[in-house]
Amino acid sequence: MVIFEFFVSNTEFFAISLKRITCLVLLVFLSYVNTVASKEQEEEYTREKVQNVYPGFGTDYVLFPDERNHPIIGYLKLNSTSSRTFGIFDINDRNLNEDVKFEYFSREYPDGFRVTSQEILKNYVNISKPTKFITHGWMSGGRKDSSVLIRDGFLHKYDANVFVMDWSAISGNPFYPIPMMATPKVGKHYGKFLNYLVDELGVKPVDIHLVGHSLGAHVSGFAGRTVKRGKIGRITGLDPALPGFDSGLVSSGTLNSKDAHFVDVIHTCAGFLGYKSPLGHADFYPNGGCPPQPGCSVLEFMEACSHSRSWRIFFSSLVNEEPYMATKCSSLSEISTKKWCKGDPIEMGDGTPLEARGIYFTEVLEEDLLFSVEDANKV
């Protein structure tokens, strides 16, 4: 199978013993403690700067900070051993009812509960209220910050039905190609859940808003196109994942403007971990859309940190009284040079007008971001 052969690699990197991997992680962490590249933020970021220190970075593996800011290695390729160990061939046999979980939240039920039976939702979902969904990306989950903060932000701003879709049983696989190739199937399963809300509970598709980060952005797109009775109202893609999708390895394509009545996208690691090309009706490129984003100064984590800025920005737009205003640009080249564009400004984030069309530039500083609902209450 051509796709599988593309990922199967017997490079020396993947032959590294567990001991050598542990040593690499330790070295990366020590470098994290001592490496601050604030001056480099003023220069154009290139992967070569990281690869000079960490050979194979960005092609064989990437680094993510965990909740204690310790490095986690995520692999971008498979070898024959990893494909057998992690079951690339039985991905279609997964029990998605167990691997894909939904949790329901509302102002009446802020602690939420796992949806073990769709029938139970008849007692909780209020179809007169808007319905919001959040899902995460690779190496993340429904209880991680990207999902939890946006969930809390929605409940802070709206009296709404809020769902978190957790597919971490699949997305948590450290070998990226496996969750990447699973996104269409996960999205279709997600779409079946949406169809239940529409068909059985009477939720209007136009009242549904899906928010997805990284791989979760594409999953949201696949879910949106699965809904049978009309298009859903909105999908927000937060730095949709680039690797594998740009080369057409996922036959279902990517998140696109046909997946909902309105699709908006925030790009923060464009051309590296996230898509650079416009995908929606309105695409936003804060600080030019590329790494390093302000505050992402640790060399090893510049890409991962910048990738996460998309959901930080969206969360902040939910709870911050001061909107992020963006200006329409005529081309990506105008954005890449970080020139101020001349179009009329519109709001970026949750408050983006549904009639917005085109590409937009804005500046977002680290101090402009909020990191909890409590931060908003202090402002």
Do 103 and 179 lie in one domain? The reply is yes
Do 325 and 361 lie in one domain? The reply is yes
Distance, CA of 180 to CA of 201 (rounded, Å): 31
Active site residue 152: no
Average pLDDT, the chain: 86
Do 66 and 137 lie in one domain? The reply is no
End position of a domain, from candidates 27, 55, 85: 85
| Model pLDDT, residue 329 | 93
H and E: helices and strands count for the chain: 12, 13
User: CB neighbours of 127 closer than 8 A, spacing ≥ 6?
Assistant: 201, 202, 203, 204, 207
- DSSP letter assigned to residue 294: T
Do 257 and 147 lie in one domain? The reply is yes
Do 252 and 346 lie in one domain? The reply is yes
Q: Are 244 and 286 a contacting pair, CB within 8 Å?
A: no
Weakest mean pLDDT among 73-87, 106-120, 280-294, 317-331: 73-87
Active site residue 333: no
pLDDT, one tens digit per residue, over 48-87 is 988 999 899 999 999 988 767 788 899 998 865 554 554 5
| Degrees to nearest 5, angle at CA 218 with 214 and 219 | 105
Nearest 10 degrees: Cα torsion 349, 350, 356, 359 = 20
Active site residue 214: yes
How many domains is the chain built from?
Answer: 2
Q: Are 136 and 146 a contacting pair, CB within 8 Å?
A: yes
Do 264 and 281 lie in one domain? The reply is yes
Q: Among 351, 349, 331, which Cα is nearest to 339's? A: 331
Do 49 and 185 lie in one domain? The reply is no
Q: Among 15, 59, 52, which Cα is nearest to 35's? A: 52
Q: Which of 60, 152, 207, 239 is catalytic?
A: 239
End position of a domain, from candidates 85, 103, 134: 85
| Degrees to nearest 5, angle at CA 234 with 356 and 102 | 155
Q: Which of 140, 146, 168, 214 is catalytic?
A: 214
CATH classification of the domain holding 131: 3.40.50.1820
Distance, CA of 346 to CA of 115 (rounded, Å): 37
Do 51 and 185 lie in one domain? The reply is no
Distance, CA of 154 to CA of 194 (rounded, Å): 19
* Residue 335 backbone phi and psi in degrees, to 5: -70, -40
Do 111 and 243 lie in one domain? The reply is yes
Q: Which of 166, 218, 307, 317 is catalytic?
A: 307
Do 234 and 164 lie in one domain? The reply is yes
Do 268 and 194 lie in one domain? The reply is yes
pLDDT, one tens digit per residue, over 200-220 is 999 999 999 999 999 999 999
The domain in which residue 24 lies consists of 2-85
pLDDT, one tens digit per residue, over 117-138 is 999 999 999 999 999 999 999 9
Do 107 and 168 lie in one domain? The reply is yes
pLDDT, one tens digit per residue, over 246-276 is 988 998 999 999 999 999 999 999 999 999 9
Lookup: tokens for 195: 């169809």
